[in-house]
Amino acid sequence: MVGTVAADEQQGSDRRSTGRGAAPAILIVEDDRRMRGFLRTVLWDHGFRVYAAETEEQGLALASTHNPDFVVLDLGIPDVDGVRVTSRLRTWTTVPIMILSAHGAEGQKVAAFRAGANDYMTKPFFTSELLERVGVWLRHTRRPSVDAKDAVLKLGDYRVDFESRRVFVEGQEVSLTPTQYKLFGVLMRNAGKVLTHEEILLAVWGPAYAKETPYVHIYMRHLRQKLERDPARPRYLLTEPRVGYRLRVA
């Protein structure tokens, strides 16, 4: 019976998606039927193509078939927890994943971020906030590639010219040391993604420093002093407790 309900809902979603062309596709994996229906309706009404599943296997099958642009994933789906679903998705896709949960315990958030989640919202939530976060992530993922040496990347008050190795805040050039510049460049190229201490150390200092977590804390403090209006209350350079750091995209 459960599988039949999900299949019926999915057919309805596919029919309603007809004619939406290149509209972003969003996959919802949520076991609560009312919440699943609510999310599907809200997202559809705001112009998205929507696919819905209630179990891990259904969600992974739809992700493989439709290659969505964004995933909204409940942390407590019935056949397995959302952390494992996130891990399995991360074996083949970099699509943004937003976790929804009735609980906001730090341990759960850490596990979700470590598995590869990009964002985390606690139920109940405001519909406007959900839509804004989805929009931010979709704009972020559609930015031009910044892998090229001569790329110029803009994000909020920040701009980095990778060809000239110059950094600007609100149009004013800021002087960074070589290591500070390299750290900030890594954050800009991965804007919105939670980078673990280990990932940052490997990217900036190399394998020999993989356990030197204090290095990251010290240099992030220096970056905030140079790049944030209020270093004690950073707007962009955010700490993810016990995990690492994230450059906020909005």
The answer on 233 and 159 residing in a single domain is yes
With respect to residue 147, please indicate whether it lies within any of the assigned structural domains: no
Shared-domain flag, residues 102 and 168 = no
* pLDDT (average), residues 83-96: 86
What would the mean pLDDT of 72-80 be, rounded to a whole number?
Answer: 78
CA triple 159-115-248, angle to 5 deg: 20
Distances (CA, A) of 21 to 49, 143, 211: 9, 20, 48
pTM of the model: 0.57
Query: 35-74, pLDDT tens digit by residue?
Result: 999 999 999 999 999 999 988 889 988 988 787 889 999 9
Q: Based on the domain organization, do 12 and 110 belong to the same domain?
A: yes
Dihedral pair phi/psi, residue 139, rounded to 5°: -65, -40
Residue 93's pLDDT is 79
Write down the pLDDT at residue 78. Answer: 62
The mean pLDDT of 211-217, rounded to a whole number, is 90
More confident residue, 48 or 4: 48
Name the average pLDDT for the chain. Answer: 83
- Residue 17 belongs to some domain of the structure: yes
Question: Domain of 7?
Answer: 2-141
Residue 122 covered by a domain: yes
Give me the phi and psi of 50, to 5 degrees please: -130, 135
Query: Percentage of the chain surpassing pLDDT 70?
Result: 85
In this model, does residue 197 exceed pLDDT 50?
yes
Together in a domain, 137 and 66 = yes
Percent of the chain with pLDDT over 90: 40
Question: What pLDDT score was predicted for residue 16?
Answer: 42
Domain boundary among 94, 118, 141: 141
Give the per-residue pLDDT at 79.
59
More confident residue, 241 or 13: 241
User: What is the tally of structural domains in the chain?
Assistant: 2
Q: Are 162 and 149 contacting, i.e. CB atoms less than 8 angstroms apart?
A: yes
In a domain, 146, yes or no: no
Is residue 8 scored above 50 in pLDDT?
A: no
102 & 221 share domain: no
Average pLDDT over residues 72-79: 80
pLDDT tens column, 100-146: 988 767 788 888 898 999 899 988 889 999 999 999 888 877 654 44
- Is a pLDDT exceeding 70 seen at residue 19? no
